[in-house]
Amino acid sequence: MSTFFLFCYGCCFGSLIGATSARYARQESPFYPGSHCDTCQIPLQPWQLVPVLSYLYQRGRCQTCGAAIPRQVLILELVGGWLATTIMGPATLLTVIWFYLWIYASLCDKATQTFPGIISWLSLPVLLWPFGFPIWGLASIWLIGVHLLWSHLSQPPIGDGDLEFIGLYGLAFGLPTTAWWLLTACLLALLTHRWFSGRIALIPYLTISALVWWLWS
Ligand SMILES: [Zn+2]
């Protein structure tokens, strides 16, 4: 039964991640206005905010204007729900929070090639919790150093957020694991790059690769 409740809570977090990342992409406040249809702007009824069920009941369409609700909304809610159930085993609460943070960053990065810098800082204690203050200090120096250096580069070869993510991951898991993780992410990015134009948003691939390696281990 507790697995069911965890799934329900996780679906809510998935829904929240989807909604707030979409607002970040549109440069809107995460708090105002309330939840509404992106096409007709009609505020949603409380029952339309119930994750998964409201999407299924409305058959993926706005009840007012009939506009399609992105399938990504449903997928995010289900993934959020599934991730929460892994707290029962094999994951820990920190692992799940870490994935929530980087799924949010992935969606922001995919839409805008940026994400809120606070995500790196929030993920620092979450990922490096067992390592204590010396590694936290090193990670903080890494984040500040990348930020300061990148603010002086006009055309950096890689995004500062990508480098922050890679540095934190490396500190937590060591060089060999990080190398395999990075290779998987880059291969995924290269294989799917033909569907995108311009620069590759790397955070989604880094997050997917982390998820793949976590499931593998
Ligand atoms: Zn609508």
* Residues lying with their CB under 5 A of ligand 1, a single-atom ion: 37, 39-40, 62, 64-65, 67
Q: What is the pLDDT of residues 5-44, one digit of tens each?
A: 999 999 999 999 999 999 999 998 888 888 889 899 899 9
- Domain match, 84 and 100 both: no
What is the CA(44)–ligand 1 centre distance, in A? 9
Q: Which domain, by its residues, includes 133?
A: 92-217
- In the predicted model, what is the mean pLDDT of the chain? 91
**pTM for the whole structure:** 0.90
Q: Which of 50, 74, 89 is the last residue of a domain?
A: 89
Q: What's the structural domain count of the chain? A: 2
What is the CA(53)–ligand 1 centre distance, in A? 18
- Domain match, 41 and 130 both: no
- Domain match, 43 and 112 both: no
- Domain match, 115 and 183 both: yes
Cα 111 off chain centre by: 12
Quick check: 83 and 10 in contact, CB under 8 A? yes
- Domain match, 127 and 199 both: yes
- Domain match, 184 and 107 both: yes
Quick check: 109 and 119 in contact, CB under 8 A? no
Quick check: 85 and 6 in contact, CB under 8 A? yes
What is the CA(46)–ligand 1 centre distance, in A? 15
93-101 long-range contacts, CB within 8 A, separation 24+ = 94/126, 94/127, 94/129, 95/214, 96/10, 97/126, 98/123, 98/126, 98/127, 99/207, 99/210, 99/211, 100/13, 100/17, 101/126
What is the CA(34)–ligand 1 centre distance, in A? 14
Q: What is the pLDDT of residues 102-156, one digit of tens each?
A: 999 999 999 999 999 999 999 999 999 888 888 999 999 999 999 999 888 888 8
